Amino acid sequence: MLRLASQGASLALSSNSLCNSHIASLACSGLRLWSAAFTTTSNSVPEKLHVCVVGSGPAGFYTVDRLLKRYGDRVHVSILDRLPTPFGLVRSGVAPDHQDTKNVTNQFSSIAADPRVSFLGNVLVGRDVDVNELRALHHAVVLAYGAESDRRLGIPGEDVVPGGGVFSAREFVWWYNGHPDARHLHIDLSKVRSVAVCGIGNVALDCARTLLAPPSRFVHTDLAAHALTQLMGDHQTGGGSAVREVHLVARRGPVQAACTPKELKELLTDCGVSARTAAPDQLTVSEADSAEMKATRLKRRVFELVSKAVADASAADAAAGAAGGSSPQRRRDLFFQFYRNPVEVLRGPDGAVTGLRVERTVVRPDGPGGTSVAVGSGMFDTIPCEMVLKSIGYKSLPVQGVAFDCRRGIIPNVAGRVLQQADASASSPTSASTSGSAEGGPDEVAAANVGLYVVGWLKRGPTGIIGTNLVDAEETVDSLAGDAEALLRAGEMSHGSAGPPGAAGLEALLRQRGVRVVGWRRWRLLDEHELAAGRAAGRVREKVTEVREMLRVCGFAVE
CA distance 108 to 91: 12
Least separation in angstroms between residue 423's CB and ligand NAP is 27
Q: What are phi and psi for residue 214, nearest 5 degrees?
A: -60, 135
When binding is defined by CB under 6 A, the residue of 80, 111, 143, 200 that contacts ligand NAP is: 200
CB 77 within 8 A of CB 55: no
Cα 407–Cα 252–Cα 259 angle in degrees, nearest 5 = 80
| Closest listed residue to residue 274, CA positions, set 303, 246, 302 | 246
Least separation in angstroms between residue 251's CB and ligand NAP is 5
CA distance 96 to 84: 20
Cβ-based nearer residue to ligand NAP, 256 or 420: 256
Least separation in angstroms between residue 498's CB and ligand NAP is 42
Q: What is the DSSP letter of 36?
A: H
When binding is defined by CB under 6 A, the residue of 391, 431, 449, 469 that contacts ligand NAP is: 391
Which residues, numbered 241-300, are part of the site for ligand NAP (CB under 6 A)? 250-252, 256, 258, 263
Least separation in angstroms between residue 227's CB and ligand NAP is 17
Least separation in angstroms between residue 8's CB and ligand NAP is 33
Least separation in angstroms between residue 262's CB and ligand NAP is 8
| Closest listed residue to residue 168, CA positions, set 180, 156, 159 | 159
| Closest listed residue to residue 548, CA positions, set 510, 518, 513 | 518
The 10 Å CB-count burial string (b at 16+, else e) for 244-258 is ebbbbbbbbbbbbbb
Annotation: binding site for FAD: 59, 89, 125, 457, 464-466
Residue with smallest beta-carbon separation from ligand NAP? 201
When binding is defined by CB under 6 A, the residue of 15, 16, 190, 463 that contacts ligand NAP is: 463
| Closest listed residue to residue 182, CA positions, set 547, 558, 453 | 547
**CB proximity list for 308: less than 8 A, separation 6 or greater:** none
Cβ-based nearer residue to ligand NAP, 263 or 472: 263
CA distance 250 to 258: 9
* β-bridge mates for residue 166, sequence order: 388
| Closest listed residue to residue 356, CA positions, set 378, 340, 332 | 340
Q: Cα(first)–Cα(last) distance of the chain, in Å?
A: 55
When binding is defined by CB under 6 A, the residue of 77, 153, 196, 388 that contacts ligand NAP is: 153
Q: How many C-beta atoms surround the C-beta of residue 105 within 10 A?
A: 18
The 10 Å CB-count burial string (b at 16+, else e) for 504-529 is ebbbebbeeeebbbbebebbeebbeb
Cβ-based nearer residue to ligand NAP, 289 or 483: 289
| Closest listed residue to residue 413, CA positions, set 372, 376, 375, 457 | 457
Helix (H) or strand (E) holding 364: strand 353-364
Least separation in angstroms between residue 249's CB and ligand NAP is 7
Cβ-based nearer residue to ligand NAP, 51 or 89: 89
**Which range in 28-36, 130-138, 198-206, 550-558 contacts ligand NAP by CB under 6 A?**
198-206
| Closest listed residue to residue 33, CA positions, set 448, 552, 473 | 448
Cβ-based nearer residue to ligand NAP, 408 or 524: 408
Least separation in angstroms between residue 397's CB and ligand NAP is 16
Which residues, numbered 338-377, are part of the site for ligand NAP (CB under 6 A)? none
Total chain residues near ligand NAP (CB under 6 A): 24
Q: What is the DSSP letter of 539?
A: S
Cβ-based nearer residue to ligand NAP, 263 or 530: 263
The site string for ligand NAP over 420-459 (x = CB under 6 A, - otherwise) reads ----------------------------------------
When binding is defined by CB under 6 A, the residue of 204, 356, 387, 484 that contacts ligand NAP is: 204
Cβ-based nearer residue to ligand NAP, 36 or 465: 465
When binding is defined by CB under 6 A, the residue of 267, 392, 415, 477 that contacts ligand NAP is: 392
When binding is defined by CB under 6 A, the residue of 65, 148, 171, 206 that contacts ligand NAP is: 206
Cβ-based nearer residue to ligand NAP, 57 or 201: 201
Annotation: binding site: 59, 89, 125, 251-252, 263, 457, 464-466
Cβ-based nearer residue to ligand NAP, 102 or 495: 102
What is the chain's Cα-based Rg?
26
Least separation in angstroms between residue 58's CB and ligand NAP is 11
Handedness of CA 32, 33, 39, 45 (dihedral sign): positive
When binding is defined by CB under 6 A, the residue of 35, 92, 202, 282 that contacts ligand NAP is: 202
Residues at the contact surface with ligand NAP, assessed by CB under 6 A: 151, 153, 198-204, 206, 250-252, 256, 258, 263, 391-394, 462-465
